[in-house]
Amino acid sequence: MPNRTMTRGLGIAYAIAAAAVAAAPLALNAYWIDVLNSVGLYVLLALSLNLILGDAGLFNMGHAAFYAVGAYTSAILNTRLEIPILWTLPASALVAALFAALVARPVVHLRGDYLLVVTIGLGEIVRIALVNDVFGLTGGANGLFGISRPTIFGHRLTSRKPQEFLYLIWAFVAVTVFLFHRLEQSRFGRALNYLREDPIAAEGSGVNTARYRLLAFALGAAWAGMTGTLYAAKMTIISPESFGSWESVVIFLMVILGGAGSIPGVMLGAALVVILPELFRGFASARLLVFGLVMMVMMVFRPQGLLPYRLLRFKESDLRRAEDAP
Amino acid sequence: MKISMRLAVAATLLAFGSARAADAIKIGLMAPLTGSWASEGQEMKRNVELLAAEQNARGGLLGKRVEIVVEDDGGDPRTASLAAQRLTTRGVVAVVGTYGSAVTEATQAILDEAGIVQVANGSTAVRLTEKRLKYFFRTCPRDDEQGRVGAAVLEKGGAKRIALLHDSSAYAKGLADEIAATLRAHRANVVFFDALTPKEQDYSAILTRLKAAKPDVVFFTGYYPEAGLLLKQKRQMGWKVPFIGGDAVNNPDLVKIAGKDAAAGFRFLSPPVPKDLDTAEARAYVASYRKRYGEAPSSIYGVLAADGFRVIAKAIETSRSTDPDKLRQVLVGGLKDFPGFTGKIAFNGKGDRVGELYRVYEVSPSGSFVLQK
């Protein structure tokens, strides 16, 4: 059993955050609601990368590629076959996962910076393929447009009411956070952590390294793909510039800044990376400069991340209980 | 600590700004101030801010000060949708911008639903105005306009056998398709229609194939690096058929790549570069721009943003109101030959600019681009 007091504290924090998001439309204008929507999308992306980068310790800086695959899958299914956009969620998860498994298979044995370089290349290949209108499906540099708005129980969501997207996106975030916490405490999650800390020892204890790494990639990609669906549904247009290498860097940054491996930390990281540049809009064209400075200061003073991952701690009582268990 | 101080300063500035703005007419400017198109965005900002300052020096609009609310769209659809949402909450009556077509598209619905007039300056994709949004206009031409002008130039030149060469990019292929469709409708003879591979160093193979088709003229719709190499290697082959280019070859590097001898006589279509704007107002404007910023405006898209601001100001003055429906009424029906910096401006019911913006340029023997009258 993990340290229970921390879990309770975290539960309260989540409850407060959920209540704050649910009540946000009462207090905030459309612009800040839309900023919260952006935060939600990036929380999902950062959590999906956290599986790969934080839990399994695989340096993936091409995560936007999986995001793009999901978004384009949904957009193509929706605009060509007129499948309602939210029904394409499983399809984009599946396609993104298969794509990730396919491209990661030959490279998962690479470590650290070598994998990083390969995944940067992967991200660029996907972006350039999209620009070059691969298979005549992606619309080239202009992207795809005319994606229909999502409909929930016969109710159509529009950009006039960003609060409706707020609930859609953050409901998805809530489900994700719950599932990822369960995953973290499962055999699978712990196997990934072994792999990150010491791959050789993990292999010695019977963890199939290649298989777990591939699974981490596939699962992370599936989640990024579904986030792509939500993004396509919200924007109704997608174009290659939304999935460039900068996007991958930003998602990577969120995970590292918040604390790799820590779900609340990664969420905080995503929120800061999205909200800070908006707060600095007053600096006009210098806003990204100020943003960069803040990032540097944070990394210098808290290199382990804002809410770092904590190793599981066991009390003596836990040990006794485990021994007593039949 | 420092950060919180800066934030406090910024917040105070913003608060002061809004307090002072109570009796001002606010016009939004959405521009890519950061990202890969930052130079275009900065120039748009310079143009529009200069015009607003001049307008205020003349007493503003309807007796009120004009205030420009600038938002960065980052050249990215997601950031742009946030910028548009933010503009809708800041009480702007109209918005100038923005540059990229996909970026503009992400903002169209938001501004239209909020009842804010938008005048885009660099978004040329045809579909933007085919949606028939009530409050969307643009001062730049559409992609199909260049195709039409290109076909007209080819036909006027009296060429019997025409070759079209593109590079498979969405822009270049679209333009080539457009020209071919117009030419075929007029029963002209298109003897060659194919693509080269961009970023190669040797185009002699495609040039040999082109030569075998025996065209009277070759229209290349791609970008300047390839155009430069084509001209250079065409000269090395000793082939004399004239080449014409689209507006993506409008870059001084074309002459550097091709060499002055090979580039001389090459013609291309382009909106006029700012130094060639020929009306008295445009010349006066370029002079005051030079006075304020120490250099002439370099990008036509910045000047098109300036024209966007001017038609909005004109519509507010004419209708004596900031109501979007009244502004639309003036913009669609009441702008007969408004003297814009980039030529006469009027809009059709879709919000597209009426009238020709494209001109023909020729490379002179000294390597400069000369406007053909």
Which residues in chain B have their CB less than 8 angstroms from residue A238's CB? 77
- Interface probe with A: pick from B85, B101, B113, B169, most Cβ of A within 10 Å: B85
Ordered strands of the B94-96 beta sheet: B65-72, B24-31, B94-96, B117-120, B136-138
* Nearest CB to A160; choose among B42, B113, B125: B113
Interface contact flag, B85 A285, Cβ < 8 Å: no
Q: A155-161 — which CB contacts under 8 Å span 24+ positions?
A: A157/A233, A158/B113, A159/A234, A159/A236, A159/B81, A159/B109, A159/B110, A159/B113, A160/B113, A160/B114
What integer pLDDT is reported at residue B19 of this predicted model? 43
Rounded CA separation A52/A177 (Å): 15
Q: What is the pLDDT along chain B (373 residues), one digit of tens a residue?
A: 455 555 555 554 454 444 444 578 999 999 998 877 888 899 999 999 999 999 999 988 998 999 999 999 888 888 898 899 889 888 899 999 888 888 898 899 889 888 999 999 988 888 888 888 899 999 988 888 888 889 988 888 888 899 999 887 767 887 888 899 889 888 888 999 988 887 788 999 999 999 999 999 999 998 888 999 999 999 999 999 999 999 888 888 889 999 999 999 999 998 888 888 878 888 999 999 999 999 888 888 899 999 999 999 999 999 999 999 999 999 998 887 888 888 888 999 899 988 778 889 999 999 888 988 6
Q: How far is CA A205 from CA A108, A184, A201, A209, A322, in A?
A: 19, 19, 6, 11, 20
Residue tagged 């004239």 (tokens): B242
One DSSP character per residue, B174-235 reads HHHHHHHHHHHHTT-EEEEEEEPPTT-S--HHHHHHHHHT--SEEEE-S-HHHHHHHHHHHH
3-state secondary structure of A155: strand
pLDDT at B110: 87
Is A258:A267 a contact under the CB 8 Å cutoff? yes
Distance, CA of B3 to chain centre: 38
Convert the pLDDT of each residue in A87-116 to its tens digit. Answer: 999 999 999 999 999 999 998 888 788 999
φ, ψ dihedrals at A61, nearest 5°: -110, 30
**Residue A318 confidence (pLDDT):** 76
Please count the other Cβ atoms lying within 10 Å of the Cβ belonging to residue B247. Answer: 21
Residues A188 and A181: their CA atoms lie apart, in Å, by 12
Find residues 166-205 of chain B whose CB sits inside 8 Å of chain A. Answer: 168-171
Q: Which residue of B has its CA nearest to A129?
A: B169
| Per-residue model confidence (pLDDT) at position B1 | 43
pLDDT at B53: 94
DSSP letter string, B232-264: HHHHHHT----EEE-GGG-STHHHHHH-HHHHT
Convert the pLDDT of each residue in A227-264 to its tens digit: 999 999 988 888 888 898 889 999 999 999 898 889 99
Residue tagged 């809708």 (tokens): B88
| Contact residues for B304 (Cβ-Cβ < 8 A; gap 6+) | B121, B122, B139, B140, B271, B342
pLDDT score, position B364: 93
Average pLDDT, whole number, for chain A?
87
* Nearest-CB residue to B89 (from A31, A159, A287): A31
* Range B15-21 contact pairs with CB under 8 angstroms and sequence separation of 24 or more: B21/B65, B21/B67, B21/B91
| pTM tops 0.95 | no
Give me the residue spans of the domains in chain A: 11-244
The conformation of residue A147, written as its DSSP 8-state character, comes to P
pLDDT band at A4 (very low <50, low <70, confident <90, very high): very low
Separation between Cα atoms, residue B52 and residue B288, nearest integer Å: 13
Mutate to test the interface with A, among B86, B92, B123, B171 (most CBs of A within 10 A): B86
Interface of A with B (CB under 8 A): 29-31, 34-35, 38, 131-133, 139-143, 145, 158-160, 162, 231, 235-239, 241-242, 278-285, 287-288, 290, 294, 297
Inter-chain CB proximity B78 and A288 less than 8 Å: no
Q: Following CA atoms A194, A196, A199, A201 in sequence, which dihedral angle do they give, to the nearest 10 degrees?
A: -40
Higher pLDDT: A137 or A66? It is: A66
Task: Please answer whether residues B205 and B180 qualify as being in contact, where contact means their C-beta atoms are separated by less than 8 angstroms.
Answer: no
Question: How much is the pLDDT for A312?
Answer: 67
Domains and CATH numbers, chain B: 2-141+278-345 (3.40.50.2300), 144-270 (3.40.50.2300)
Nearest Cα to Cα of residue B162 among B230, B205, B214? B214
CB-based contact, B77 to chain A, within 8 Å: yes
Instruction: Write out pLDDT tens, residues A146-162.
Output: 888 888 877 777 666 77
Residues 149-168 of B with CB under 8 A from A: 168
Distance CA A75, CA A91 (A): 11
Length of chain B: 373
If we measure between CA atoms, which residue out of B25, B30, B24 comes closest to residue B96? B30
Q: Is B142 helix (H, G, I), strand (E, B) or coil?
A: coil
Give residue A10's pLDDT band: very low, low, confident or very high (50, 70, 90). confident
Distance CA B17, CA B21 (A): 6
Q: How many CB atoms lie within 10 A of CB B225?
A: 17
pLDDT for res A1:
42
Sequence-separated (6 or more) residues with CB below 8 Å from residue A142: A239, B101, B102, B125, B170
Q: Do B11 and A282 touch (CB under 8 A)?
A: yes
Nearest CA in chain A to B80: A235
User: Cβ–Cβ of B78/A237 closer than 8 Å?
Assistant: no
Residue B89 in contact with partner chain A when CB distance is under 8 A: yes
Which pLDDT does position B334 carry in this prediction?
A: 82
